[in-house]
């Protein structure tokens, strides 16, 4: 059994239907090994120490049994979860709230940097689960605004990181304040001496579950190094690295706050969308940056280790070290932001002479093998950058948008005194908004994947509850079988199956299509030069509809299937017969496949 794949299913766990519904709504299909391993001991009320590497689903591991063990509707604090950062506290609170949404359980997040008054009001209104950072939680305890006398469960999440950040005193005082008969759960990637002290004093005969630790392996992650070229400044080394690698999105780690500001400014100056995240940033700005990251609207987040602790960004493909950390173990926490839940990830590091000690320790102590790549020359980097921008422009042109009316203006701009400045602004505006549109389309596509997964999970759970019914012969059941749509559509922007995604083929029984989408047949395909992105844009232009109206596409050689919102169906059908790439295109409602 790996750290990411379990042989157990959620249907085998003794959980309530309300929680089962919340799990399905999250799109979870099977528990990870850590989720399966800790469920029994936590449900039995025992204290638990769990070591499992970053990205294996620890939040749901304690969140699912925690939700099941406490009573909903009381609005009295039954569980307290301590996290090391504000971002992690928010993420944990959101995850537990989503899982518990059918259980009448309220969750609030308490952390520094936010107004005390709003938090005090939320505490007065009451909640069954409080998630917070140690400093702010202890402040509320001292002020008497947080009542924990009925708390049944205490959770220390990312305990090693929390203690290394200097929260030992606050954590122990909070544990002293909690009822002595509480259940204590400790989750950590490593178990250093500080944690051993807490275990001995505050946990009662704990079950110790040691699945894995970040210190032992960085599976699923490709580790790459580029040696810094001294002929030009280090920020330019980073620019050349990004041109060579061209990641879709990445966290860029810096060792100092000053470097985060420098690198974010440099990247933005060169047209690369970047935001910094460090301890100097106001809480509202931190939340704004994280919102952009989660929506896929931000290409690069430049962060310090402390600011990025606990951040969980799904499908992050790259982590980049602008500088290697002095402590080799910190490298493992950094790269743990990618390759989560068994997915592949890439960690790239710029290495200079002073960092060779860290590099050597990573190779010898942790057995990490690095691939060495060479930075492009300035001319090669410029050529890579130019080719990439031109390709994006050409791809947008191929979408069928009419632009000929602007050719005279382009000609005038080429000789205008301010022509280059105005053109540069127009290009920046285009790239920024074009990429935001693509991010929004990817988000819509991913939502469709989740919808299909949830529908399938609901069906599987229904069959699990009525196994005899589902095994009876079809004629005996008396339910007429209906065929689903002929083709499986793929969400816009996804050129391949997401790792771990379920088969999106509709179930053999049920309606032909969900009521929230319409499937259309389009008489052009890849033989006419279309791909998912360009065909979506062209059809929207042709029908006069927004990009969001196209939910998913499946492009075949000579035709395509397009899923659109119901209220946009008539506009797309009305576009049938119009010219697309100098050829009339046929658009009609897709017919079910004949049996």
Mean pLDDT, 10 residues at a time, the chain of 595 residues: 58 88 85 88 93 77 94 94 88 92 93 89 94 94 94 91 82 93 88 80 89 55 90 90 87 92 90 85 81 80 77 75 88 75 79 89 88 86 80 72 79 86 83 64 52 52 52 43 42 42 41 64 86 84 85 84 88 86 85 56
User: Is the distance from CB of 66 to CB of 153 less than 8 angstroms?
Assistant: yes
For residue 521, the 8-state DSSP code is E
Q: Which residue has the tokens 């400014």?
A: 265
d(CA 302, CA 280): 13
What is the pLDDT at residue 38?
A: 92
Residue 399 near residue 250 (C-beta atoms within 8 A)? no
> H helices then E strands: how many in the chain?
22, 19
Order the strands of the 550-555 sheet from edge to edge: 490-491, 550-555, 560-564, 518-522, 587-589
Which residues are CB-neighbours of 97 under 8 A, at least 6 positions away? 107
- pTM value is 0.53
Measure the CA–CA gap between 117 and 188, rounded to whole angstroms.
32
- The structural domains of the chain, ordered by start, are 10-210 (3.40.50.300), 221-378 (3.40.50.300), 439-589 (3.30.70.330)
Tell me what pLDDT residue 476 has. 41
């Amino acid at each position: 059994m790996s750290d990411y794949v379990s042989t157990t299913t959620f249907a085998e766990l003794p959980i309530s239907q309300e929680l089962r519904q919340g799990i399905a709504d999250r799109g979870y299909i099977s528990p990870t090994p850590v989720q399966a391993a800790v469920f029994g001991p936590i449900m039995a009320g025992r204290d638990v120490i769990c070591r499992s590497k970053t990205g294996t689903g620890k939040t749901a591991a304690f969140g699912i049994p925690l939700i099941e063990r406490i009573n909903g509707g009381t609005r009295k604090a039954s569980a307290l979860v301590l996290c090391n950062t504000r971002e992690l506290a928010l993420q944990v609170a959101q995850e537990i709230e989503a899982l518990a949404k059918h259980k009448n359980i309220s969750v609030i997040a308490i952390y520094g940097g936010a107004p005390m008054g709003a938090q005090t009001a939320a505490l007065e209104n009451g909640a069954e689960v409080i998630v917070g950072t140690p400093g702010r939680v202890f402040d509320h305890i001292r002020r008497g605004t947080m009542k924990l006398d009925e708390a049944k469960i205490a959770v220390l999440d990312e305990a090693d990181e929390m203690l290394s950040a200097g929260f030992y005193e606050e954590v122990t005082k909070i544990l002293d304040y909690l009822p002595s008969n509480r259940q204590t759960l400790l989750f950590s990637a490593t178990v250093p001496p500080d944690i051993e002290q807490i275990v001995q004093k505050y946990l009662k005969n704990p079950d110790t579950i040691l699945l894995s630790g970040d210190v032992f392996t960085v599976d699923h992650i490709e580790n790459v190094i580029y040696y810094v070229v001294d002929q030009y400044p280090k920020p330019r080394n980073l620019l050349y690295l990004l041109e060579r690698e061209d990641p879709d999105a990445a966290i860029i780690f810096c060792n100092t706050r000053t470097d985060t500001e420098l690198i974010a400014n440099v990247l933005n100056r060169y047209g690369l969308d970047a935001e910094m995240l460090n301890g100097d940033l106001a809480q509202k700005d931190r939340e704004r940056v994280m919102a952009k990251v989660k929506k896929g609207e931000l290409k690069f987040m430049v962060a310090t280790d402390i600011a990025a602790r606990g951040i969980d960004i799904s499908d992050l493909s790259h982590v980049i070290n602008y500088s290697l950390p002095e402590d080799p173990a910190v490298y493992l926490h950094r790269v743990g932001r990618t390759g989560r839940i068994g997915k592949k990830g890439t960690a790239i590091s710029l290495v200079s002479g002073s960092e060779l000690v860290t590099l050597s320790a990573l190779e010898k102590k942790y057995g990490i093998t690095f691939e060495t790549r060479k930075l492009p020359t300035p001319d090669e980097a410029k050529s890579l950058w130019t080719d990439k921008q031109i390709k994006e422009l050409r791809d947008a042109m191929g979408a069928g948008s009419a632009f000929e009316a602007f050719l005279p203006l382009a000609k005038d701009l080429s000789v205008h005194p301010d022509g280059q400045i105005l053109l540069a602004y127009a290009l920046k505006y285009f790239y920024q908004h074009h990429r935001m549109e693509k991010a929004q389309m990817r988000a819509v596509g991913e939502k469709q994947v989740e919808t299909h997964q949830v529908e399938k999970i609901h069906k599987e759970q229904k069959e699990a509850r009525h196994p005899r019914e589902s095994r009876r012969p079809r004629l005996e059941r008396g339910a007429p079988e209906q065929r689903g749509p002929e083709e499986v559509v793929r969400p816009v922007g996804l050129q391949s199956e997401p790792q771990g995604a379920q088969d999106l083929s509709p179930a053999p029984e049920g309606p032909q299509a969900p009521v929230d989408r319409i499937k259309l047949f389009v008489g052009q395909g890849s033989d006419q030069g279309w791909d998912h992105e360009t065909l979506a844009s062209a059809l929207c232009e042709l029908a006069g509809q927004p990009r969001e109206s196209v939910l998913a596409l499946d492009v075949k050689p000579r035709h395509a299937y397009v899923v659109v919102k119901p209220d946009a169906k008539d506009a797309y059908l009305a576009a049938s017969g119009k010219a697309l790439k100098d050829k009339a295109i046929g658009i009609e409602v897709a017919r079910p496949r004949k049996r």
